[in-house]
Chain A
């Protein structure tokens, strides 16, 4: 009997291996396994079926671009802009894939609660509610002299949800409801300088010239599509003078770019005002007691001659004079700014900047600042307790005493750009503060929270959009609910309602959606304005809707209500104050202009550079997982870096890619260096893709936390 040897087995195996390779088995297996990996069951798949279209308004930023949503069966599969909308059909790369956000693998799907000093851990809604309602109960029942605050970040003035929440907050002895940075901050300051309670907008579409103090017109400001159409075109009819230290996209596209020292915006504004007044270039229609020779404002302006401002800004005196003449004689120019909450300027600087609009006669003039027609949707809805908040409710971060906030609730849903953490942190009570963040994704804000509550992302909930700064009509737009949301998601109002009920502070508070419906019902009852269909751009009078439910259906389906009837303007009767609404504003403007946001207090030998923080938009809550993957894999993703001019780098002995330690009076940070000609020499621009603070680096006396003196050393 033949014995099978080990060699025989090897030969057999060799033959089998050759035979296998000559058979389809390995090749077909390879093909099938690779297909299998592409079709795992948990990968979301759009259903097959009939195509339909829905309409909505994007909530990822304040622009609120209208979007047509292509659906297969009921599932959104793609978004596109709508040409007939005021945004002219524009939709940015983030908006085009906003429907992906609900599938994000990092979605916050259940409440997270942090035990003292521990990591955030998945928890139940009951646990989260217990933490928050306990605090609410304590804060509502506190008596003087206790001064602990309930603070909420996420006020969207004029929206039904914010009004309803204000009504609830009025029950607390000390509460703050603070708005998020938005493009309308500047025009809010302008409105505060005018007597009366008007709702102001900027008629940029009809302006001949725009003087922009850092407003990122091409990067995303106002109605993005309209701004791009007006300012990105080479044959544009509106001249643009852009003031910004660094060469941004908007600066590059401007007719004139004034590269000024960071923090010197107020000085430049007062210098321009000085030239306008001294050269008698103030619009003849302007009459104001603040223009009299002995007025505090005139005295303030007189201090900022072109020569002095040249020293503060780095511009030549003749450039300041020429610019003042240009905005008066070649305009009239509309003066705009990025907004004081998110920088680059403080409220005092904003007052100085907005003063130019008054001197140029821009009030109530086409192409200038226009009061939106009455009634607005809020006025139609009628006075609610919300419009008369309790004496304890403050609406500015600066008005909250340091160390007083015991409960901070932050609406970090995708539509909100939040103020820098460095500006918020000092307000928290060192020992007792609880931070609650409503977020759809684990953003940097959520990482700081003691309690994270899952919130809807784009397309999962009805949401009211505030009017845009450049939209001169009174309008009401809703973001539509495109899909059924996951269970257990809360928007800001509904979560506060939920915890207030648990705390015994309310019994049946009005929900977000009901508040919006009540507003729509009030508009229907008043019978004012038109509804513009997103499908064809056709307007239909509100009076043509048979019921408020029918009107609600139209608006919840992406239509836009607007009341564009021209306001009866009586400019002669309009009274305003160039010195600002508060008694100390002139002094604040003086200090801001002279000290360049505190920079002037620091010895240049110790801190020779100026550290500027990039615009704080929290993109991490807005980027679809697919877009994030593409940008990571293609190397296009932004990383935390500090950008400096090559000349500055040479002077500091730093090479590109070197990790340096950036130091400011409030902290230090190790960060790699990127060289760019677009950065002003002597300036260090901190880029952070999360849009958050830089480890206390920017914590200073300047409320904007955007400009600090600094130095760098090779780490």
Chain B
């Protein structure tokens, strides 16, 4: 191939690689701010000393309550306790009006998957950090990144578009579940998760 031809080919190659690896991930996800900024660090640190399960609790029947309802917040925040903007929004928009906070859940699983927290946390004794990383120690909530096509959170795929250099907690695709089950010798079948 003559030089001019090689340049043309390489031009197309480089441009498409640039689009595929850099532009496409930017275009694929939209960033949405959480309704209010929440500091896990303040709540789980020395100041409040709470554990994950104080808010993300299990119900009596063993099902996972997930994101706490605003009534959980009201227990401590029935009156404003600080002067932060976040707490002002919490009190004025949600606690005083008894409105649920429309949190955007980073690890939200799709409807066609049945995931049991109690099986993983209580029975298999897997730490929350195994799937959620250091989320419980963060001082601020990062923007929620929503996949414009599937509607999923970016956390389900992981930060890396190639899924190659991911942190150990990143990603909650079916392959990740299968890999973890294989590591632990858990027998798999379709109906285990797809009821």
Residues of A within 8 A of B150 (CB): 31-32, 35-36, 39
Among the 9-residue stretches B14-22, B32-40, B70-78, B128-136, the one with 4 or more Cβ atoms under 8 Å from chain A is: B14-22
Q: In the complex, A11 Cα to B5 Cα: how many Å?
A: 6
Check A19 for interface membership: any CB of B closer than 8 A: yes
Q: In the complex, A653 Cα to B8 Cα: how many Å?
A: 73
Are B21 and A11 in touch, CB under 8 angstroms? no
B161 CB contact (under 8 Å) in A14, A19, A22, A28: A28
For chain B, residues 23 to 67, give those with C-beta under 8 angstroms from any C-beta of chain A.
24-25, 28, 59, 61, 63, 65-66
Among the 9-residue stretches A44-52, A86-94, A107-115, A279-287, the one with 4 or more Cβ atoms under 8 Å from chain B is: A44-52
Check B10 for interface membership: any CB of A closer than 8 A: yes
Are B16 and A15 in touch, CB under 8 angstroms? yes
Are A17 and B16 in touch, CB under 8 angstroms? yes
Q: In the complex, A28 Cα to B1 Cα: how many Å?
A: 32
Q: In the complex, A18 Cα to B16 Cα: how many Å?
A: 8
Check A628 for interface membership: any CB of B closer than 8 A: no
Give the nearest-CB partner of A14 in chain B.
Answer: B9
Are A19 and B4 in touch, CB under 8 angstroms? no
Check B68 for interface membership: any CB of A closer than 8 A: no
Are B111 and A18 in touch, CB under 8 angstroms? no
Give the nearest-CB partner of B22 in chain A.
Answer: A23
Check A24 for interface membership: any CB of B closer than 8 A: yes
Residues of B within 8 A of A24 (CB): 20-21, 24-25, 161-162
Q: In the complex, A523 Cα to B116 Cα: how many Å?
A: 45
A15-B8, A19-B15 as given contacts; A25 in contact with B112, CB under 8 Å: no
A16 CB contact (under 8 Å) in B12, B24, B65, B112: B12
A23-B16, A25-B19 as given contacts; A33 in contact with B149, CB under 8 Å: yes
Are A20 and B20 in touch, CB under 8 angstroms? yes
CB distance from A96 to the nearest CB of B (A): 13
For chain B, what secondary structure do more than half of its interface residues adopt (helix, strand, loop), or is it mixed? helix
Point out which of B9, B15, B24, B161 has the most chain A C-beta atoms below 10 A from its C-beta. Answer: B9
* Size range of the chain A interface in the assembly: 20 to 34
Q: In the complex, A7 Cα to B7 Cα: how many Å?
A: 12
Are B149 and A32 in touch, CB under 8 angstroms? yes
Give the nearest-CB partner of A72 in chain B.
Answer: B63
Check A508 for interface membership: any CB of B closer than 8 A: no
Q: In the complex, A48 Cα to B66 Cα: how many Å?
A: 9
Residues of B within 8 A of A48 (CB): 66
A12 CB contact (under 8 Å) in B12, B21, B28: B12
Q: In the complex, A28 Cα to B150 Cα: how many Å?
A: 11
A19 CB contact (under 8 Å) in B12, B112, B152, B162: B12
Are A11 and B149 in touch, CB under 8 angstroms? no
Are B59 and A23 in touch, CB under 8 angstroms? no
Point out which of A7, A9, A18 has the most chain B C-beta atoms below 10 A from its C-beta. Answer: A18
B24 CB contact (under 8 Å) in A22, A28, A35, A36: A28
For chain A, residues 637 to 682, give those with C-beta under 8 angstroms from any C-beta of chain B.
none
For chain A, what secondary structure do more than half of its interface residues adopt (helix, strand, loop), or is it mixed? helix
Residues of B within 8 A of A19 (CB): 12-17, 20
Check B102 for interface membership: any CB of A closer than 8 A: no
Give the nearest-CB partner of B15 in chain A.
Answer: A16
Check A13 for interface membership: any CB of B closer than 8 A: yes
Check A8 for interface membership: any CB of B closer than 8 A: yes
Mark interface residues in B117-152 (1 if CB within 8 Å of A CB, else 0).
Answer: 000000000000000000000000000000101111
A25 CB contact (under 8 Å) in B12, B24, B157: B24
Residues of A within 8 A of B17 (CB): 19, 22-23
Q: In the complex, A488 Cα to B171 Cα: how many Å?
A: 47
Check A38 for interface membership: any CB of B closer than 8 A: yes
A15-B16, A23-B19, A32-B149 as given contacts; A50 in contact with B59, CB under 8 Å: yes
Check A293 for interface membership: any CB of B closer than 8 A: no
Check A29 for interface membership: any CB of B closer than 8 A: yes
Q: In the complex, A33 Cα to B10 Cα: how many Å?
A: 29
Q: In the complex, A8 Cα to B2 Cα: how many Å?
A: 11
Are A39 and B110 in touch, CB under 8 angstroms? yes
Q: In the complex, A8 Cα to B24 Cα: how many Å?
A: 25
A45 CB contact (under 8 Å) in B111, B151, B161: B111
Give the nearest-CB partner of A77 in chain B.
Answer: B195
Residues of A within 8 A of B147 (CB): 32
Point out which of A22, A35, A39, A51 has the most chain B C-beta atoms below 10 A from its C-beta. Answer: A35
Are B111 and A39 in touch, CB under 8 angstroms? yes
Q: In the complex, A300 Cα to B13 Cα: how many Å?
A: 98
Residues of B within 8 A of A8 (CB): 4-5, 8
Residues of B within 8 A of A28 (CB): 24, 28, 157, 161
CB distance from A374 to the nearest CB of B (A): 43
Residues of A within 8 A of B16 (CB): 15-20, 23, 25
CB distance from A103 to the nearest CB of B (A): 14
CB distance from B149 to the nearest CB of A (A): 4
Give the nearest-CB partner of B6 in chain A.
Answer: A11
CB distance from B118 to the nearest CB of A (A): 12
Q: In the complex, A156 Cα to B69 Cα: how many Å?
A: 48
For chain B, residues 140 to 177, give those with C-beta under 8 angstroms from any C-beta of chain A.
147, 149-152, 157, 161-162
A32-B150, A35-B150 as given contacts; A23 in contact with B12, CB under 8 Å: no
Residues of B within 8 A of A29 (CB): 149
Q: Could you list 29 A-B pairs, sorted by A, with CB under 8 Å?
A: A8-B4, A8-B5, A11-B5, A13-B12, A14-B9, A15-B8, A15-B14, A15-B16, A16-B13, A16-B16, A17-B16, A18-B13, A19-B12, A20-B16, A20-B19, A22-B13, A23-B17, A23-B19, A23-B21, A24-B21, A24-B25, A28-B24, A28-B161, A29-B149, A32-B150, A39-B150, A48-B66, A50-B59, A51-B59
Given contact pairs A19-B14, A39-B111, enumerate 7 new A-B contacts (beta carbons under 8 Å): A19-B17, A23-B20, A24-B20, A24-B24, A32-B152, A50-B59, A51-B61
Give residues in B with beta carbon < 8 Å to A.
1, 4-5, 8-17, 19-21, 24-25, 28, 59, 61, 63, 65-66, 110-112, 147, 149-152, 157, 161-162
| 6 A-B pairs with the lowest CB-CB distances in the bound complex, closest first | A23-B20, A15-B12, A19-B16, A16-B12, A15-B13, A11-B8
